[in-house]
Structures are given as structure tokens and as C-alpha cells.
């Protein structure tokens, strides 16, 4: 699927510290979320889950995704935000349209991104996965800079964790979720990140 061109920057060199946090820099911001807990003892992180998000829906670039994940969102800022009342969610990473990355939860901890989910016969995908929210919608093409950022994230995560597969939220919760949707180019992600086809969703 074709993507919209943007002024993509050269691939970032990302470093994950021993506590599971990226080293902050020009394209990386740390914004700790309270919405996390410990993974079950002895759990190996083996799954990467892709999501999309935009707040308000279809609008990009605002402060609301970060505010949602930090429980500081002003529900009066937009009429649609009434749907977020009482929601406590997070993800490990958020990739903005310009390719910048915000990290909310240590990769060693369990972020609250997948909800009721199942993969390869295992329930509760939050237990053994890392969640990445990509700023976008199911139907609007993702940008070059976002694929480049994802391509930079994959090797640093793979070097730390035995990631056996990458799936969308739509694959692990197919009745409830549709993201990252048909606009996400899985083949392109695989090529940019160097992910073997066997780890990607079936075409």
C-alpha cells in the first residue's frame, strides 16, 4: 500500500538502558505513565503489538494522547472525550507523525495496551508483549518518518527480548479492535525494520 511522503529523518540510533527506558534525545521523550504494573514472574517478552491512536479521532499533533496515558486529559477539551471517562490505559511507545517517539512505560513492565486479547493460544497479551501506538487511523496512510522510527525501534527491542512475532491489535483482539488497520503497510515495516516475514501477520 502506498504511503504519504514526508521529510523523514535518517534512522535514529536508539539505546535502551538497563531499566527498559530509551535514552532521551532530540527525537525521544520520556513521559512516565502511572498505568502499568509488573509482568508475571518469569514471563518472557515475545510479542510486539502495533496499535493506532489519534485524539480527537482523525486529528494529529495535539497533546491529548500523552495526556490520556498520563491520566491528565481534560475531558471538556473536546465533545468526543466523554468516551474516555474513567479510562486507564497506556502503551510502551507512541510514534508521532513526525517520527518522534514518546516512551510511557519501561519495556520491562506491563503496559495496559492490549486489553482482553489472545495470541498463539495465550490469553492476556499485556503479560508478554510490548505495545507501540502509532499516531494515525485505520484508513489514513502512515508516514515515512513513522516507518523509519519503527525501523529504529525494532532492533533495539529485539536485541533485549526474544520477540517471536509482531501483530496488530486487530489480530489479538479481532472482535473488538481494527487497528492499525488496512492503512498500515506490514511489508514495508518488515523491510524497514528488518523483520523476517515469518514474524509478521500472514498476508
Residues marked active site are found at 133
Contact 13, 155 (CB under 8 A): no
Pairwise CA distance, residues 135 & 74, whole Å? 19
Pairwise CA distance, residues 142 & 96, whole Å? 10
Question: Is residue 199 helix, strand or coil?
Answer: helix
Pairwise CA distance, residues 12 & 69, whole Å? 24
Pairwise CA distance, residues 176 & 41, whole Å? 28
* H or E element, residue 144: helix 144-158
Question: Is residue 51 helix, strand or coil?
Answer: strand
Amino acid at each position: 500500500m502506498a504511503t504519504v511522503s514526508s521529510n523523514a529523518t535518517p534512522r535514529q540510533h536508539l539505546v535502551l538502558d538497563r531499566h527498559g527506558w530509551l535514552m532521551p534525545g532530540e527525537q525521544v521523550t520520556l513521559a512516565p505513565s502511572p498505568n502499568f504494573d509488573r509482568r508475571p514472574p518469569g514471563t518472557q517478552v515475545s510479542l510486539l503489538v502495533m496499535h493506532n491512536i489519534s485524539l480527537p479521532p482523525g486529528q494529529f499533533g495535539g497533546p491529548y494522547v500523552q495526556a490520556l496515558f498520563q491520566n491528565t486529559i481534560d475531558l471538556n477539551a473536546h465533545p468526543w472525550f466523554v468516551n474516555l471517562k474513567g479510562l486507564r490505559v497506556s502503551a510502551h511507545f507512541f510514534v508521532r507523525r513526525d517520527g518522534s517517539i514518546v516512551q510511557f512505560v519501561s519495556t520491562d513492565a506491563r503496559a495496559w495496551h492490549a486489553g482482553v486479547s489472545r495470541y498463539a493460544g495465550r490469553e492476556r497479551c499485556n503479560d508478554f508483549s510490548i505495545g507501540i501506538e502509532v499516531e494515525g487511523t485505520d484508513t489514513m496512510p502512515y508516514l515515512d518518518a513513522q516507518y523509519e522510527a519503527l525501523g529504529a525501534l525494532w532492533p533495539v527491542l529485539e536485541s533485549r527480548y526474544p520477540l517471536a512475532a509482531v501483530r496488530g491489535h486487530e489480530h489479538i483482539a479481532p472482535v473488538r479492535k481494527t487497528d492499525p488497520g488496512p492503512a498500515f503497510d506490514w511489508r514495508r515495516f518488515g523491510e524497514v525494520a528488518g523483520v523476517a516475514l515469518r514474524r509478521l501477520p500472514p498476508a
